[in-house]
């Protein structure tokens, strides 16, 4: 039987623009809706956009690997929502995230589109993406500290049966 290579791009094969887009979509998808909405409203922008796709909710397949490095297996399914928009200036934005929040998906797609426009890219980076990324790092650090505080180390005694 022939080995099939993963069709997913590796970080070595992605361009700088693709890596930036991947980072942007990750930040937007993982941000709590309230934080995303608050950051957006602080800009006081009201750009016009046309929905090209969705927002639509469906199922995506989840795959796993035993121990992170074993053979891939089908783990289950999860609900995801995606949206694609076209701004008045022609910029196109995409979003896909776990869950059923159509409003968050549309807003993330609008922010993604505006981040590709040179006129608003710096504003989006400074006022939305960087603060959301920092907040996510703080949440991760807090979770790690809480987990470490409750960590239990187990050990066994050798019984001499050997």
Q: Is the pLDDT of residue 111 over 80?
A: yes
Q: What is the average per-residue pLDDT within 112-130?
A: 89
Mean pLDDT of 63-67: 86
What is the value of pTM for the model shown? Answer: 0.75
% of the chain surpassing 90 pLDDT: 40
Residue 103 lies in a domain: yes
Where does the pLDDT of residue 16 fall: very low under 50, low under 70, confident under 90, or very high at 90 and above? confident
The SS3 assignment for 93 reads strand
How many domains in the chain? Answer: 1
DSSP 49-87: EEEEEEEEEEEEEEEEEGGGTS-EEEEEEEEEEEEEEEE
Q: Report if residue 2 sits inside a domain.
A: no
Residue 153 lies in a domain: no
pLDDT in tens, 35-56: 999 999 888 888 888 888 889 9
In a domain, 121, yes or no: yes
| Rounded CA separation 6/10 (Å) | 9
The stretch 117-145 carries a mean pLDDT of: 89
> Residue 62: how many CA atoms within 13 Å on its side-chain side?
9
- 38 assigned to some structural domain: yes
Average pLDDT over residues 63-80: 88
- Residue 82 pLDDT greater than 90, yes or no: yes
Whether 148 maps to a domain, the answer reads no
Q: Is residue 150 part of a domain?
A: no
Residue 9 has pLDDT above 70, yes or no: no
For 133, the domain range is 15-139
């Amino acid at each position: 039987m022939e080995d099939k290579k993963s069709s997913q791009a590796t970080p070595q094969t992605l361009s700088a623009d693709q890596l930036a887009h991947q980072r942007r979509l990750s930040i937007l998808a993982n941000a709590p809706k309230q934080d995303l909405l608050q950051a957006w409203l602080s800009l006081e922008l009201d750009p016009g956009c046309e929905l090209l796709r969705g927002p639509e909710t469906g199922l995506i397949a989840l795959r796993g690997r035993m121990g992170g490095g074993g053979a891939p297996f089908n783990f289950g399914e999860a609900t995801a929502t995606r949206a694609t928009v076209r701004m008045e200036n022609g910029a196109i934005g995409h979003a896909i995230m776990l869950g059923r929040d159509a409003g968050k998906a549309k807003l993330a797609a609008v922010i993604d589109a505006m981040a590709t426009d040179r006129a608003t890219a710096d504003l989006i980076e400074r006022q939305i993406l960087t603060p959301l990324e920092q907040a996510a790092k703080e949440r991760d650090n807090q979770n790690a500290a809480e987990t470490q505080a409750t960590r239990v180390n187990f050990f066994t005694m050798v019984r001499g049966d050997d």
